[in-house]
Amino acid sequence: MSEQVQEHLRLALRRMLKPLVRLLISQGMSHAELSEAAKDAYVEMAIRYGGEEKKINQSQIAILTGLTRKEVKNVLSRALENDNVPIKQSRPTRVLTGWFNDPDYTGPYGIPIELVYDSAEDDEASFVKLVKTYSGDMAPRQMLNELIRSGCVLEVSKGRYKAIKRDYQHKQLSPELIHRLGELGYRIFSTAATNIDTETLGRGYFDRNVFADEGCTDEVIDEFDAVIRVRGQELLEELDIWLAANQKKPRSGETTKNTGLYMIHYVETPSESQTLRELLIDRDLEVDGQN
């Protein structure tokens, strides 16, 4: 694959990941957990489509995916032992757990002590030391702001903070909605990837869109949404009737595939299309070594 194609794929991937990562952050899912999921997907696709042979060994998987043999082994072992690996605690949860459980940060009867933000004294507990112990290189100030925002920490006096809730909770999503996200994303990306694959180019599935050239106001978007809900529903019901009437029992040995049609109304602001570089310039942010 040429470097130009790879760079375009990287740019496309970044854009596709933006709304997903926004959701993951809101639910407390870390980059490490996304990385593990990506490793799982790489190994699975290498096994499915990595070569002509039905069997493929770990060394071949490592070559195809760029993972180490140890990483490949871990993915395979995890899949065989238990597909539902417990999710690691988020960083805010780890910090609160330390504050409520670590003797260095609790007083009589196990009650978490009030902490100053930072202290030059080695033997004095502080929030900065707590974060360093339980959250590694996470910036203490950002951690403190998040814990205050979530209602887990209260500023009792200037520069002194108290933990009042030990459970850091993100806005919860139902398992049904999460499952729907996976199904929807898989089917959309599956068709999109098929339709740009050089081997299937021109022989892919229906993939069309209509959009406003100059953008729309919120009022027009609401009106457009109302039209879609009526006209789109009519089309989907018509297609549902057609599928019901044309479904046939497969002949002996004949395989079947799931198929259907998704219709999605998307809305995005111009800022959501910014690159990371454009965002940094727009926010006047600089890269430095400060917390």
| pLDDT tens sequence across 14-43 | 888 888 888 888 777 888 888 998 998 888
pTM above 0.75, yes or no: no
- DSSP β-bridge partners for residue 116: 126, 160
Residue 191 within a domain: yes
Residue 232 within a domain: yes
pLDDT at 232: 92
Q: Are residues 194 and 217 in the same domain?
A: no
Q: Are residues 64 and 25 in the same domain?
A: yes
Q: Are residues 97 and 23 in the same domain?
A: no
Domains held by the chain: number: 4
Question: Please, are residues 29 and 65 in contact by the beta-carbon 8 Å criterion?
Answer: no
Parts of the chain with a pLDDT under 70: 1, 51-54, 82-89, 170-174, 198-202, 276, 280, 285-291
Q: Are residues 190 and 230 in the same domain?
A: no
pLDDT at 282: 76
Q: Are residues 98 and 152 in the same domain?
A: yes
Residue 251 within a domain: no
CB atoms inside a 10 Å sphere around CB 237: 10
pLDDT at 271: 77
Please state, in angstroms and as integers, the Cα–Cα distance from residue 225 to each residue in 185, 261, 270, following that order: 21, 18, 19
Residue at a domain's end among 21, 52, 87: 87
pLDDT at 290: 47
Q: Are strands 115-116 and 153-157 parallel, antiparallel or unpaired?
A: unpaired
pLDDT at 291: 46
Residue 221 within a domain: yes
Q: Which domain holds residue 200?
A: 174-207
Q: Are residues 103 and 52 in the same domain?
A: no
Q: How far apart are the first and last CA of the chain?
A: 40
Residue 287 within a domain: no
Residue 276 within a domain: no
Q: Are residues 28 and 100 in the same domain?
A: no
| 115 burial via Cβ count (<10 Å: 0-12, 13-18, 19+) | buried
